[in-house]
Structure 1
């Protein structure tokens, strides 16, 4: 297929690389970026609490340097994950309506080029570790491992979404290592909450592709859950809200905010209800739009956490 294609122009090649890394569709970047920044902000709260300082006096906020490093790391690693994902799916994407126009599927890029892009992006992300404590480097190896293996999991297990969630969420314990010195129980609760949310929204994504995936033999939670898909998604979203509520209660109940941030999750519950109503039809377009709506969940929770941290830092 690739030999019959005429040579492509430099502009077309650059556009193909943009598609490979999904910089032309930043939805996935946001779904990784915002939770990473939740972790950065709450890790700073943990560090302040560990020091036994009056949080109202001490700025319980991360430094701008840490904030930027983790934001850039999230963007680069998401792009790297997309490159290795397309390499893993290069022989099946052409059989799926939604993915047949990807650059490896239609021959605009080769498998070697995708691997090269993955390695370059991982190295760029690794260079950011030079500005962080050395312990973060050791934890980052887990992130690279998960980013590399998760695209291949759909060949072996119906739970590839679980590996995706772990890969996306690994930045959370890394943030705690960088800022608070080590992950604590609240870090891992935040990590589990994030995994519940990620498995839920990626199941919505998989529901949009379920018919094609069944034809080509690709596994997913959407296939595993079957007719109980929306029910299980709802349960995962409920777990996210409950665990996230406990985490926010821990950090902010002792402050002047009390439990106000916990009540702030009520809007997220309404967002989830709207998503599940759309997914109830099992129509591909409706499920995909429900998946896209999770961008607003990520943005809102970030705004809620950021506002709570800033208020606590200023007012105690």
Structure 2
């Protein structure tokens, strides 16, 4: 009789490019910043690009694209470092996170704080290239960045807080490109939050048993066996908010076709969710990089 092996759910892949190409001393920091797992960077970046495209009517300034791209990289890395510092006592007991640098003892907390200071200083240096209005909006996201890792201790909705912080660049993009944030842009941001609640809940189902054992909270624990239908609901809310936001922003007819493609993609994703198979849910989480690509392309088509 053949015995099926349990899938390895660890998010650290030994022998990857970090181990092959970086000096030993640099490796823990590359993993702390999630440079070996860039999915979060793309999930932050594509909605921001979509906002820049909409705000500029399809002609985003290359300088702004560069600044916001670097900002997404640095703030996502800083947010990941904050998360690992806050969760260092939990991560060693969770299958997916047990080999992270702080959990495994590769570095100590003091080193992580020094690294975080460098990340935030580099991110802050980008503010000098933005308008005062955008700088103020950028600073307002910091409480969300630092509160998010603690949310799983007292609320089942850390995914909503993460969604607000992750997609804050959309608001900054409008402020920088136009000097104001219209209602349509706020709806696009709200749609991105709903989308993130959906895909991050899929991700949270990977850790469901470990989180429940440790007394942590998440939308996956809250939704339980109703997860598939509720994730589908949040995906529907995302498409609805993006559609209404696009209409208020006077997107052209091709935008509607793009929204239809996104709706089909998210519906297929929802149909494939299997709450009992973490490896399937992890692949579905990764599939949302394509959702981000489709959103940016839809924004561009809406400006034709």
The 3-state SS of whatever aligns with 2:102 is coil
The 3-state SS of whatever aligns with 1:183 is coil
The 3-state SS of whatever aligns with 1:61 is coil
Q: CA RMSD in A?
A: 1.5
The 3-state SS of whatever aligns with 1:85 is helix
Task: State the match for 1:37 in structure 2.
Answer: 49
Alpha-carbon distance in 1 for matches of 2:70, 2:287: 23
2:298 is aligned, of 285, 300, 304, to 304
Task: State the match for 2:190 in structure 1.
Answer: 192
Q: Normalising to structure 2: TM-score of the pair?
A: 0.89
1:84 is aligned, of 82, 85, 88, to 82
2:241 is aligned, of 232, 240, 243, to 243
* Contact preservation (8 Å) 2:187, 2:241: yes
Tell me if 1:15 matches 2:27.
yes
Task: State the match for 2:140 in structure 1.
Answer: 142
Alpha-carbon distance in 2 for matches of 1:252, 1:260: 11
Task: State the match for 2:271 in structure 1.
Answer: 277
Deviations 1:221-263 (A, max 9, x none): 000111211111101100111111122233455xxxx422112
Tell me if 1:111 matches 2:109.
yes
Task: State the match for 2:63 in structure 1.
Answer: 65
- Unmatched 5+ stretches in structure 2: 1-21
The 3-state SS of whatever aligns with 1:11 is coil
1:281 Cα shift? Answer: 4.3
Farther-moved stretch of structure 1 (270-279 vs 198-207): 270-279
* Contact preservation (8 Å) 1:248, 1:261: yes
The 3-state SS of whatever aligns with 1:24 is coil
The 3-state SS of whatever aligns with 1:12 is coil
Q: Normalising to structure 1: TM-score of the pair?
A: 0.86
* Contact preservation (8 Å) 2:183, 2:245: no
Match runs of 1:203-218 below 5 Å: 203-218=201-216
* Contact preservation (8 Å) 2:204, 2:219: yes
Task: State the match for 2:13 in structure 1.
Answer: none
Task: State the match for 2:280 in structure 1.
Answer: 286
- Structure label with greater radius of gyration: 1
1:106 Cα shift? Answer: 0.4
